[in-house]
Amino acid sequence: MVVTLTIIKGDDEGKVFTLAEGDAKTIGRGSASGILLTEAGVSRSHCRVRVTGGECWVKDAGSRNGTTVNGRKITEEVRLADDDVIDLGNTRISVRVQATPPPRPPPKAAPVAPPRPVVVKPPPPAPAARPGAAVPSPAARKALRLKAEETEDSVQTVDHPPPPASSGRLAGAPRQPLDLLGETIGGCRVDDLLGGDEISHLYLAMQVSMERQVTLKVLNPAMTQDAQAVERFLQGARAGGRMSHPNIVQVYDAGKDGGVYFIALEYTGGRSVREMMEELAPGQPMRLRTALEIVEQIAGALDYLHSQPTPVLHRHVSPANVVVTEHGIAKLANLGFARGLAEPGLSGALTPAERLAELQFVAPEMLDDPRAASPASDLYSLGAVLYLTTTGQKPFRGANEADLAEKVRAGMRLPAADVRNDLPDGLPELIEQAMAVKPPDRIARAALLQGALAKIRERLRR
């Protein structure tokens, strides 16, 4: 279980705290408090919150003003639920409770086959894939092949800009996957193909030492001929592996095994936001509370990345890169692989339709130079995801790529309030601020976006 406490009112408004299973923290003004607040109405040791056995509890710690849950003053320990509100003096805290999925049973062992060399077979093109994808049925795979829109990514930190932009592609990068079923790569037994594109393929695998399912990302053979592509593949994995947050797909391992470059990722199941939107009727928005919860969680993930000693940028926040698990936990995928559209080896790997889809979520300053990326660029992209999920419409309309790019640069889109006139107060303005053309005009921090969305969700609950 993961519990997120967001301060939505008071002197500490905008602060966000996360507790995991087994955590127990005191909230107060005292230096010994695990959750330190500054508001004068909060006692030095005001209340204590603990997470145990899949439940979250709060108990007043003898504070002078008392602790209130959902408007009622508590006198004994109380179990907290999703969307509960805690009041401590003038401080109000929104509670977000996320259940963690139970351990997945291991799949049936693949038949033992004699060792054989890794070879390339020419099966039909695999469906587009994403880390954490559920295993598609044959019918679903056929449908997915017709609407593949996802590309691979790489990580970027603020202090280490990518190489100069260029065009072109690595010739000969195949869409057909390596025949790895039954093989063990990097300690992971490959059980099924999930999908892929011209850069890499994803497989469902079992990490034997840990007895856990993983998504195995394998660099395509032609890409291994490019030293820079290989280095970025592994360097991105190392950067992603240093991150640990409940709303980020975890990187477990990476390396080279028998000539195969691989990355082992957390397997989450569920669907991407892109897939969730495609299941709706054209123009239909997502359920409002669901959309707000998803974006609020991803804002928390971005705040974690941007708050690192050397801030980490995702640089490709999009509906395809946000995965929602079967238990409703939103996770930011492809951390460690996000690239700009103009970077080497990528622009040619995208079809015109794929590039048009990507442009909807690219910050204006990144269109000509991916090195211009900043935390504000990630917030812009998340704002575009919020626009899409709450209105049912893509932010921009363009006859072609050049036309669309110019509209992105100029911010030529219908305000969210004009697309949907029943959005709750404050949400249209929040979207417009997140998607401001100039980075200095955008929301200053992801935590502020997260806190603002929590306040809107609280008003919807009333």
Q: Of 462 and 92, which is predicted with more confidence?
A: 92
Q: How confident is the model at residue 346 (pLDDT cuts 50, 70, 90)?
A: very low
Q: In angstroms, what CA-CA distances link 2 with 245, 289, 308, 315, 417?
A: 10, 19, 21, 26, 33
pLDDT of residue 216: 94
What mean pLDDT is predicted for residues 224-228? 84
Residues in the chain: 462
Q: How confident is the model at residue 353 (pLDDT cuts 50, 70, 90)?
A: low
409 Cβ neighbours under 8 A, 6+ residues apart: 364, 367, 437
Percent of the chain with pLDDT over 70: 79
pTM higher than 0.85: no
Cα distance between residue 370 and residue 308, in whole Å: 21
DSSP assignments along 330-372, one per residue: EEE--TTB---TTSTTTGGGS-HHHHHHHHTTS-GGGTT-GGG
Q: Which of 100-109, 144-153, 242-251 has the largest mean confidence?
A: 242-251
What mean pLDDT is predicted for residues 272-300? 94
pLDDT at 118 over 70: no
pLDDT of residue 176: 63
pLDDT at 91 over 80: yes
User: Tokens 């093989």 correspond to what residue?
Assistant: 183
What mean pLDDT is predicted for residues 73-81? 94
What mean pLDDT is predicted for residues 34-53? 93
pLDDT of residue 115: 45
223 Cβ neighbours under 8 A, 6+ residues apart: 170, 173, 199, 200, 229, 230, 233, 345
Which of 113, 47, 109, 56 has its CA nearest to residue 82? 56
Contact 333, 318 (CB under 8 A): no
Cα distance between residue 297 and residue 130, in whole Å: 19
DSSP, collapsed to helix, strand or coil, labels residue 3 as: strand
Contact 82, 54 (CB under 8 A): no
What mean pLDDT is predicted for residues 369-375? 87
pLDDT of residue 362: 93
- Helices H / strands E in the chain, number of each: 10, 22
Query: What's the chain's average pLDDT?
Result: 81
31: its two tokens: 């230096």
